[in-house]
Structure 1
């Protein structure tokens, strides 16, 4: 009886020790406020192939959710397996705090859902729905780290502000080698008879040395070959929710080269960003040949006090010619301010303005005048004309 009691106590001790080596964390962000949108497009006559929609611009005053950071909650865990090796997982749900509706296409864990192994010696391998190297290495030091999604390149067509994730993906991230970190991702299309159909792959890296950081990445995402529909279907979500590039959602594939850099000088941080996004047509696409967008931006942030930060940015995006006509061009200006009431709660104010010119395609493949759509905050609420102004004020709380 004594031996059995001793064994039971010892077993409980082992279980307690094993439990102490692991951890599970619940976390999240809630972000809400008020917004003003000028010239928001309202469809008065529906469009179709050969006939563009008739749009009317109207001002909108709205409740806003997730302007600075998308509202979310998540669970992440880590179990120490010994010798610097650990098992990890993360499940993250996005939602609209104004309506309670799930985000990311009403997915339960649409923001992130992955598990894997991490090693202090060999790096990290994760599997599931996750971000690509553009987000990890470019976006983390890019314009949206200064200005929120308001400062993203128009439509976030290069995914610097993580509008897209990769399903069914494997991702490897190396340890840091003297400040240099490298990464690679492959997203399976899960299509019988084709390894390429709907697949995604990406490579990237980032170098950090004191106040200086620079990152670059390359991504190729394949659409569903042989499709006759007008939608994007890929392991990569795609960013076609605005007038910037919705006319190219039938592309055979999308290629992105993106880079960003920042340098801190005391309380001032300066940044520069660049991306090249290409859409290649196939026989089923609603456009011909190849459309290319080049975006370049400058940002500056000033930490005026430990609790007050202000930032400004300028972005220029130019698309190539559309069916022999002058391609679209977008000039975008953004201002932001952040006041921290505590480490977890902050107030913010954002203002964005954009001017569009040239020609582009609508979602039916019709040539139309380019219309404005600021950053990715205006995704889904593009302008009916060539200008747009957005104003947002709100409060963000993290837990």
Structure 2
């Protein structure tokens, strides 16, 4: 990438449509670019909202190289590095975020409570606050890089009709268990899949890491070599890119155990596929999403963008993402937009008192079902590592592409 490269002006769409309504362009991924949220923002804010939905790498590259093409960058903290380095986004003024005081400490301090476990890797707080020298750090300031919104605690999923004993999958080591040879899949995203694999290799006693959240070149080489050996032996059935792809693998009975996001699990629950998310003793791989402001925003459109940021943490959007299996940074605001049964299931970890809908209104959770891992606070206190862009990320990407056959 050439830091002096300037995208053509034709990339920038008009900020106001022919009817005079502001048009807000949101660049992101399927994690949070839900049609229900787009329509809700239009109705509540009186604006037009256009979603530009891409995979992780495309979204990140477009955010860094083409800030004129979007107003809001909707991504994750671990995808901030390259975008902030090229100054494609501008700091967010905390004084313009009305509910800043209600955002949980999970992002502000790295822990959901003072004595909670702090996972390795890039906890969001390490990149949250804009320092006087414009570097990102954890020392509180009046400006932030990204408004914290959706987040979750991921592990892997397994078919309960094929793996009936939960003790066989109570560790990340289950992902590399020889018993599941040919029936395993990993997520094809280097900054995510590498940690699923690393946690599995470490738990299985196949490798150890000085810092699993920031691997050395030698550690990356040994881990990828290990995965390539498994790949040549037919161990992995597939590498998937989207939650829909992941769900399809299990729905078609091609895998028994695999990397999985909560959206994939809710899809499978809606289809009646017997699947459960593992609760690994080593802890979860956590991630935290949020919203950034394009550096090109000013005047009226900057005001519109701040309205959108404040709307996202106001309550209703958090209820929508809860039905997708995600958490929001202002949970008490969303509680009033969830039924008691929904709150008890998604946040308190209780059995569903009734059938529960997904974001689209279709039933996804059957009465009597329980969410694995317990309550939000239990899950947030069991983080092994955060999704991270490591120092050797570029090298990792090259080795990962070789592994998945895209070199």
Give 1 or 2: higher strand fraction: 1
Q: Which has the larger radius of gyration?
A: 1
Give 1 or 2: higher helix fraction: 2
Give the shorter-chain TM-score range.
under 0.3
Where relative contact order (Cα < 8 A, 6+ residues apart) is larger, the structure is 2
TM (normalized to structure 2)? 0.21
TM (normalized to structure 1)? 0.21
